[in-house]
Amino acid sequence: MNKIFLIIGREYFTRVKKKSFLITTILVPLIIIGFYVAIFAISMNGSDDVQQIAVIDDAHIFNGKADTSNPKLHFTLIENETEKSFLNKYKNLNYQSFLYIPKVIDSVSKNKFTLHSPSSVSLTTMSDVEDLINNTIRKNQLIANGIDPKEFDKKSNSVTLDNAIETKEGQKKSFAGVAYAVSFGCGFLIYMMMMIYGTQVMRGVTEEKTNRIAEVMVSSVKPFQMMMGKIVGIGAVGLTQFAIWIILLLGVQMLAPLIFPQFMEQMQHASTASSEDLSIAATAFEGISNLPIAKIIFLFLFYFLGGYLTYASIFAAVGSVVSEDQQEAQQLVFPVIMPIILGFVIMTKAVNEPNSSLAIFGSLFPLTSPIVMMGRITYDVPFWQMGLSMLLLIGCFLFFTWITGKIYRTGILMYGKKPSWKEMIKWAFRK
């Protein structure tokens, strides 16, 4: 028993002590955070850029007065020019684009106007200009029919939906977006971890085999101890990485106001400025606090461990039968990766339709359940499904470690030809 801890220790510390571990662990989240900060900063600063647009309003929808309701667009009405004559001039007059509104507008059917520009105009500008024209025309129509546009705005309504869930503890508000994000995030993390650490296990085993250290090792320890030591050690590296990320995230959250005071002020300003933004933030917080956090964390860890251990043992067996040739490994790995990818695909469906038969199947089938169940955890999964899924996963893990242990034991000392699937199955089921 002592020996397996030695192996776990070696597998764990050689990886954690490597510089590349620290670099990837710290850099990856920094890059992701930096990416989001950049997006946020760009979207906040986007308003500086005002589009200068020249308008020839032959239909007189603007009534000789340029609309200024959108600060990003600056309309200048051009008199005494035709579409053709102005087409050559607008660039020289420093307009980015030129809108022509023809004389006759059919108020019922759709109209098509043309926005001339030297290079293609961004989608947001296009839709902003469209909104502005449509609003103006509607306002004109309302006035023509004797309705005050301001009165109309007051009387028109807008409905938002809240979803209330009746639970034993009372009524809870559900927030589809938050539940969706948490489910998807958990599923994606498990998917990533199984892929990254599963292939690490495989590479580690192949390395031991090609280095021929395997033979020295099996003269001291049982092959099964070697395999489990490697799997557990690498799994612990994964958990360490999680822990570092959580600590970093908390650290960033606490330090951010100190490092970027203006930025945070801006955020606060933005959220107090419009009550709508505030309510979104509040909704998100309320949504998270309404989720069964303890249950989610427990299930996440359970399915991560179950899924990782099952797949890692398969990856270890694959690693033990290939030799130096990377192409061989690719061929053998493909059928192992297939169900993981399948699980991910079903998971993306399951977050939208958590009680569909596909989602239920995917969350019971042990090769996809670690990922698919994550897609359903924020919704109430029936007790029998949860229990059955967990039992199946444990059973699957035990079954696979039992047979892969045998393949590993034989494969790790075999050199030369890659064994066929038939041979491997024979190894797996012999005594």
Partner 1 sequence: MNILELDSLKKYFATQKAVDDISFNIQQGSIFGLLGPNGAGKTTLLRMITGIFYPDSGNIQFNGQPFHPEKNNIDIGYMPEERGLYKKMKIGEQALYLARLKGMSKNDAMDSIKKWFIKFEMESWWNKKVEDLSKGMSQKLQFVTTVLHNPKLIILDEPFSGLDPVNANLIKDEIFNLAKNGATIIFSTHRMEQVEEICDHIVLVNKGKKILDGSVHQVKQDFKENIYKLGANVLAEQLMTYIFEVVKYEPNQLLLKLQHDTTTNELLKYFINQNITINSFNEVLPSLNDIFIKLVEDTKATRQFQNIES
> Could you list the residues that contact partner 1 (CB under 8 A)?
2-3, 6-7, 10, 14, 208, 211-222, 413
Nearer to partner 1, 68 or 220 (CB): 220
Residue 124: HSE in the Cβ half-sphere, 13 Å Cα cutoff: 9
Nearer to partner 1, 57 or 208 (CB): 208
221 within 8 A of 213, measured Cβ to Cβ: no
Alpha-carbon distance 400 to 394, whole Å?
10
For the bound state, the minimum distance from the C-beta of residue 214 to partner 1, rounded and expressed in Å, comes to: 7
Nearer to partner 1, 345 or 428 (CB): 428
For the bound state, the minimum distance from the C-beta of residue 36 to partner 1, rounded and expressed in Å, comes to: 35
Radius of gyration of the chain (CA): 31
For the bound state, the minimum distance from the C-beta of residue 200 to partner 1, rounded and expressed in Å, comes to: 14
For the bound state, the minimum distance from the C-beta of residue 71 to partner 1, rounded and expressed in Å, comes to: 60
Nearer to partner 1, 13 or 285 (CB): 13
Nearer to partner 1, 214 or 333 (CB): 214
For the bound state, the minimum distance from the C-beta of residue 224 to partner 1, rounded and expressed in Å, comes to: 12
Alpha-carbon distance 313 to 403, whole Å?
9
For the bound state, the minimum distance from the C-beta of residue 218 to partner 1, rounded and expressed in Å, comes to: 5
For the bound state, the minimum distance from the C-beta of residue 418 to partner 1, rounded and expressed in Å, comes to: 15
Q: What is the dihedral of CA 396, 401, 406, 409, to 10 degrees?
A: 160
Nearest CA to 205 out of 29, 402, 405, 421 is that of: 405
Nearer to partner 1, 311 or 408 (CB): 408
CA-angle at 384, arms to 379 and 386, nearest 5°: 50
Alpha-carbon distance 68 to 79, whole Å?
18
Q: What amino acid occupies position 359?
A: A
Q: What is the DSSP string of 42-93?
A: HHHHGGG--EEEEEEETT-SSTTS---SSTTEEEEE--S--HHHHHTTTTTT
- State the CB neighbour count (10 A cutoff) for residue 343: 27
User: Could you tell me the maximum CA-CA distance found in the chain, to the nearest angstrom?
Assistant: 97
Cα–chain-centroid distance for residue 262?
29
Alpha-carbon distance 347 to 184, whole Å?
8
Nearer to partner 1, 136 or 210 (CB): 210
How far, CA to CA in Å, does 157 sit from each of 69, 142, 145, 154, 160? 21, 17, 20, 8, 10
Nearer to partner 1, 91 or 418 (CB): 418
Q: Quick one: tokens of 8?
A: 């776990």
Q: Quick one: tokens of 359?
A: 């989602």
Nearer to partner 1, 12 or 86 (CB): 12
For the bound state, the minimum distance from the C-beta of residue 10 to partner 1, rounded and expressed in Å, comes to: 6
Nearer to partner 1, 15 or 376 (CB): 15
Q: Edge to edge, what strands does the sheet with 73-77 contain?
A: 73-77, 51-57, 97-101, 114-116
For the bound state, the minimum distance from the C-beta of residue 208 to partner 1, rounded and expressed in Å, comes to: 8
